[in-house]
Amino acid sequence: ELSLTIIKSGMIEILNLFFRLFLLKTTVLPIFKIFVFLFYNISNPRNELEEFIMSLINTEIKPFTATAYQNGEFKDISEQNFQGQWSVVFFYPADFTFVCPTELGDLADNYAEFQKMGVEIYSVSTDTHFTHKAWHDSSDEIKKIQYPMIGDPTWTLAKNFEVLIEAEGLADRGTFVIDPEGKIQIIEVNAGGVGRDAQELLRKVKAAQYVHAHPGEVCPAKWKEGDATLAPSIDLIGKI
């Protein structure tokens, strides 16, 4: 009797999933994608299809509390720090490594430009804030850093931003640009061996700020400050 109940429950869940797929207009997906949906939905105890397909773009950052090292002090940081200004959350795998100090040093060299734009930088790794201080004290490249270096030893932020490599306890090279409402506008995730470019990040932040301030306009490829933008409309279709 118990087995029959379990089978009936499973069948109901499968029928429910197909109905939801139909409503989501995903019936045109290739068959293998539907099997992925099925496998995920049946094997996931929470049965949340929305988690499988939801992007972090335009979502508000989740609540958190953490400690950062900045300019010789330890500071408490939370999601409230991201309200009212543009922010960049810059994840990297670990302190005392190789590509990471070159990226963080590059950000430090461009930090004044970010500040002129009203942007705060937050670097984050799964190291502690004590380790950040030790690295800052010992490395000439890291000594240049004036922005907050957040410690995330509990993996809270890495999980919130979905960049945690759980098997290694490290974060991917994830970059997130957050608007003054606390919503994520840009996401970039690089493989561990691929370093990022602060100048390119500056360009993207400027584009995000422009679009945020000018509803109805969008920035085309390679857009730089002062370049022409586009105003999408039916009259523009097929003319680009």
What phi and psi, each to the nearest 5 degrees, are found at residue 217?
A: -115, 150
Q: What is the mean pLDDT of residues 12-27?
A: 55
Instruction: Say whether 100 is catalytic.
Output: yes
| pLDDT range class, residue 177, cuts 50, 70, 90 | very high
Q: Which entry of 100, 104, 150, 170 is annotated as an active-site residue? A: 100
The average confidence (pLDDT) of the chain is 87
- Cα(85)–Cα(6) distance, integer angstroms: 51
Least confident window among 7-16, 18-27, 138-147, 206-215: 18-27
The residues, ordered by sequence, that sit 6+ positions from 85 with a Cβ below 8 Å of its Cβ are 118, 119, 120, 180
pLDDT at residue 29 is higher than 60: no
Least confident window among 53-57, 176-180, 197-201: 53-57
Reading the block at residue 78, the tokens are 């939370």
pLDDT in tens, 90-136: 999 999 999 999 999 999 999 999 999 999 999 999 999 999 999 99
The residues, ordered by sequence, that sit 6+ positions from 132 with a Cβ below 8 Å of its Cβ are 68, 69, 95, 125, 149, 151
Q: In DSSP terms, which residues pair with 75 in a beta bridge?
A: 68
What phi and psi, each to the nearest 5 degrees, are found at residue 163?
A: -120, 10
Among residues of the chain, what percentage have pLDDT more than 70? 78
Report the half-sphere exposure of 209 (CA within 13 A, side-chain side). 18
Reading the block at residue 119, the tokens are 């942007």
E strand or H helix that includes residue 199: helix 198-213
pTM of the model: 0.78
The residue written with tokens 């490594």 in the block is 97
